[in-house]
Amino acid sequence: AQPGAAQPVPAPMRDLVWGKLNFLHTTDTHGWHAGHLQEPQYSADWGDYVSFAEHMRAKADRDGVDLLLVDTGDRVEGNGLYDASDPKGKYYYDIYREQAVDLICTGNHELYVASTADREHQRTVPNFRQNYIASNLDYVDPESGERMPMAQRYRKFQTKNQKLDVVAFGFLFDFTGNANNTVVQPVEETVQEQWFQDAIREEADVFVVIGHVGVHMPEFRTIFRAIRKQNPLAPILFFGGHVHVRDATAYDSRSFAVASGRYFETIGWMSVDGELERTAHSEDADFSFHRRYIDNNLVGLHYHTGLNESTFPTEHGRNVSAMITKARDELKLDQTFGCAPKTLWMSRSPYPGKDSIYSWLENEVLPDVAVNSSRGDVPRLVILNTGAIRFDIFKGPFTRDTTYIVSPFLSAFTYIPNVPYRIARKVIKLLNSAGKIMESGPMDNRFMAIPEQLVIHEDIVHESPAADAYADAFGQKPLGGSAEKRPRLTEGYTTKDDIGSDGDDTVHAPVNFYVVPNCVQAEVEFPTDGEPETVDLVFLDFITPWVLMALRLLGGEYSQKDVQPYIEGTLTGLMTGWIEKNWPKDC
Ligand SMILES: Nc1ccn([C@@H]2O[C@H](COP(=O)(O)O)[C@@H](O)[C@H]2O)c(=O)n1
């Protein structure tokens, strides 16, 4: 872990179940490779993961089974370690490559901005040349204009110890927001391509599909159906992501799919056991699948390896942790802009509410920063999509790192001047409508909100979410402390997926999740009496297509040419400026 990172505390644990073929999985790490310095439960860093994987591989070798490492994209955007350098990722690419990832693919965040996609192609693809898979993604060379596969379309290889034949694919969901130096082919089309049809006819003991795709998204079903049609008896394993949740499902009795959360809070574990060799595949062959969501902290990593503080870190792992410390120092990520007077939550506290980050933005920040000096006294509606905010603000120092953690995007405020208020006032309602109007495809309203809400549609409020709940440690091993003296449970994930509610490796007290609207809105410079005739409609550029669509549905004929820049700077910069001005400097 990084110097100064919060110390994890012991908790009741569930063991990993090993099989013949085992996997460790990361997804949506978004630059959090230093770990969560303020959250003990997720405070291990990428160097610790390197040590962990080395010990787990050694165990696999000793036991004659196999272990593969998977990463399913969105490695960038969302943490100072990636975002704070110029160019972005100056340190991240060299840190990330130190992990021996066997199967890796691209997420949408590697593609929003052309220069990010260029760097993915120039750095990460060659770093993982044999292992990077891009089944439905092309890259356009900036010099020649030539369109080429981002990486190999699929990978066929043999596992180290059992020589199992694996055919692996690497997909991205049907993403349409990519920069124009990449092309994402819809999954429905890809599975009809000749190369794919040939690949699923290769001799395989196991098919592995990794993808930046939620395990309940239709894209994985499409791939599953295509492979299964040709291979009725083979095990098919899916590793997904994008939705930022811990999740698992099975598409049939010979398939299994797992998604491993977000922000390097989770290291996913999947194992499959049974007669895996294709010669043994039969109607009667029984495969067993297990999944575990490992909280990324040293107490847990020691537990799963049976090691301790002195025996756990490998030389390689220590060196990677040191690379991260050096990068964080050089990037001055601990530089403080202000001291947050209290914790502001995205989903753990209701909106609107005194502890909601969105209420804080709506009531305090937006009215103050969304000001165009030449139109300062014009009444305006300022709309922010909730997905623009990526993480909670914890009470205490708000640092350079926090700015990117909370708001990594380069989104700026744009506006349409003088929109009749009778139309403008209804826009927010349409943007927040539960999907009746713009409900699917790239214009799905939910793409404006946080990714978790693609699968969580209602509040999850526990009767006693507080930290004073105690373990029902029956059948679980207390880690540190006897059964009589059970440890107090820490708050954390209490995942329920299609497999059950025993997926998390650590037994936690539950936390609440309150659904938030797709967008929030501040009314600024409104007359004290009556309504304005017209208003400036101000919004983040990311949601322009939805705003134009909403206006059109309300009878306002506006197009992209009516949308103008409102103020200079990004939401991130403006928010940080507000914090510098309004919160105390020292904590
Ligand atoms: N400029 C941007 C880009 C993205 N968003 C939000 O992020 C969501 C996607 O996040 P993933 O980590 O799941 O890829 C997207 O749906 C938007 O809500 C944004 O606000 N601004």
561-575 pLDDT tens trace: 999 999 999 999 999
Cβ–ligand 1 distance for 108 under 6 Å, the answer yes
Report the side by side order of strands in the sheet with 380-385. 519-524, 380-385, 534-540, 412-420, 564-570
Query: 54 CA to middle of ligand 1, Å?
Result: 34
Q: In the chain, what percentage of residues exceed pLDDT 90?
A: 92
Our measurement of the distance from residue 186's CA atom to the centroid of its chain's CA atoms, rounded to an integer in Å, reads 21
pLDDT at 96 over 80: yes
Instruction: Quote the ligand 1 centre to 389 CA distance (angstroms).
Output: 9
**For 135-172, how does the pLDDT look when each residue is reduced to its tens digit (9 = 90+)?**
999 999 999 999 999 999 999 999 999 999 999 999 99
Please say if the pLDDT value at position 434 is more than 70: no
Q: Is 444 helix (H, G, I), strand (E, B) or coil?
A: coil
Copy the structure tokens of residue 407: 């708001």
Question: Ligand 1 within 6 A of 387 CB?
Answer: yes
pLDDT for 284: 87
pTM score, whole prediction: 0.94
Q: Is the pLDDT of residue 557 over 60?
A: yes
- Ligand 1 probe mutation, 385, 432, 443, 520, most atoms within 8 A of CB: 385
Cβ–Cβ under 8 Å, residues 539 and 392: no
Separation between Cα atoms, residue 472 and residue 469, nearest integer Å: 9
Task: Give the mean model confidence (pLDDT) for residues 450-456.
Answer: 93
Question: Does 381 contact ligand 1 (Cβ within 6 A)?
Answer: no
Share of the chain above pLDDT 70, in %: 95
C-alpha span between 228 and 235 (Å, rounded) = 9
Judge contact between 259 and 214, C-beta under 8 A.
Answer: yes
CA distances from 53 to 37, 49, 85, 160, 311 (A): 21, 6, 28, 15, 14
Task: Give me the pLDDT at residue 486, please.
Answer: 59
pLDDT at 439: 58
- Tens digit of each residue's pLDDT (9 = 90 or more) over 507-530: 999 999 999 999 999 999 999 999
Predicted confidence (pLDDT) at residue 428 exceeds the cutoff of 90: yes
Give residue 98 CA to ligand 1 midpoint distance, Å. Answer: 28
Say which residues have a Cβ less than 8 Å from residue 73's Cβ, sequence separation at least 6. 27, 28, 104, 105, 106, 107, 108, 109, 110, 172, 212, 241, 242
Mean residue pLDDT of the chain comes to: 94
Strands (E), 431-563: 519-524, 534-540
The first and second tokens of residue 366, run together, are 């937006």
Distances (CA, A) of 394 to 106, 267, 332, 532: 30, 23, 19, 38
d(CA 131, CA 417): 50
Q: Which residue has the tokens 């699923």?
A: 200
* Cα–Cα nearest to 134, from 158, 157, 111, 160: 111
Looking at the predicted structure, is the pLDDT value of residue 54 above 50? yes
Mutate to test the pocket of ligand 1, among 391, 411, 414, 519 (most ligand atoms within 8 A of CB): 411
| Mean pLDDT for the stretch of residues 213-218 | 97
How far is Cα 514 from Cα 457, in angstroms, rounded to an integer?
A: 9
**Whether complex ipTM tops 0.95:** yes
Closest atom of ligand 1 relative to the 109 alpha carbon: 14
Q: What is the pLDDT of residues 302-337, one digit of tens each?
A: 999 999 999 999 999 999 999 999 999 999 999 999
Best of 409, 541, 543, 547 to mutate for ligand 1, by most ligand atoms within 8 A of CB? 409
pLDDT of residue 481: 46
* Interatomic CA distance for residues 77 and 79, integer angstroms: 6
9 band by pLDDT with thresholds 50, 70 and 90? very high
